Amino acid sequence: MIAMRVSSSPHPAAEVLPDLHEAIRRRAEEIYVQNGCIPGRDLENWSRAEREIMAGVARLERRTAVVICVKGVQYIGEYSFEASHGYVPGEFSRGAKVPVRFAGDKMFVRSPNGKELETLIVEKFQTGT
């Protein structure tokens, strides 16, 4: 078990999709390339990209996550509210040390109520500190 510091993050959709139109354009281009660069399917590729990106935004809106910083690496762990064992978002204050352990792509955070909050690590990156 490692004690970690909690950091806060703005709304995930704001971070992931700062420019929705650009995200759709990039995805449409990926679809075009994946499908063999077949001309004349621009509208079809755009429509598919738009559906996929908007579905992703909808999922982001429903996700709950905890952000933990461990030795200069920030982990974002998503969890199901239904399986949160009473954890309430905001229960940890920014910079608080919290017990955490890792197992594969899972991060387990010990809540003040003594139960572990199981999360799926969806992002991990160096913070530079």
Q: Identify which of 84, 79, 65 has the alpha carbon closest to the alpha carbon of residue 6.
A: 65
Ranges of each domain in the chain: 2-9+63-126, 13-62
Tens digits of residue pLDDT in 52-64? 888 877 665 556 7
Largest CA distance in the chain: 58
Q: And the tokens for 5?
A: 């510091």
pLDDT value of residue 13: 44
Comparing 30-34, 48-52, 54-58, 121-125, the range with the smallest average pLDDT is 54-58
Determine the average pLDDT of the residues in 98-107.
94
Determine the average pLDDT of the residues in 13-34.
79
pTM of the model: 0.51
How many angstroms separate the Cα of 20 from the Cα of each of 41, 64, 65, 92, 117? 21, 21, 22, 31, 32
Tens digits of residue pLDDT in 88-97? 777 877 888 8
Q: Answer for the pair 80, 122: CB distance below 8 angstroms, yes or no.
A: no
- Find the distance separating the first CA and the last CA of the chain, reported in whole Å: 21
Q: Answer for the pair 103, 49: CB distance below 8 angstroms, yes or no.
A: no
Please, how many CA atoms are within 13 Å of residue 23, restricted to the half-sphere of its CB? 16
Determine the average pLDDT of the residues in 76-88.
81
Q: In the predicted model, is pLDDT for residue 6 greater than 50? A: no
Residue 79's φ and ψ, nearest 5 degrees, are -145, 160
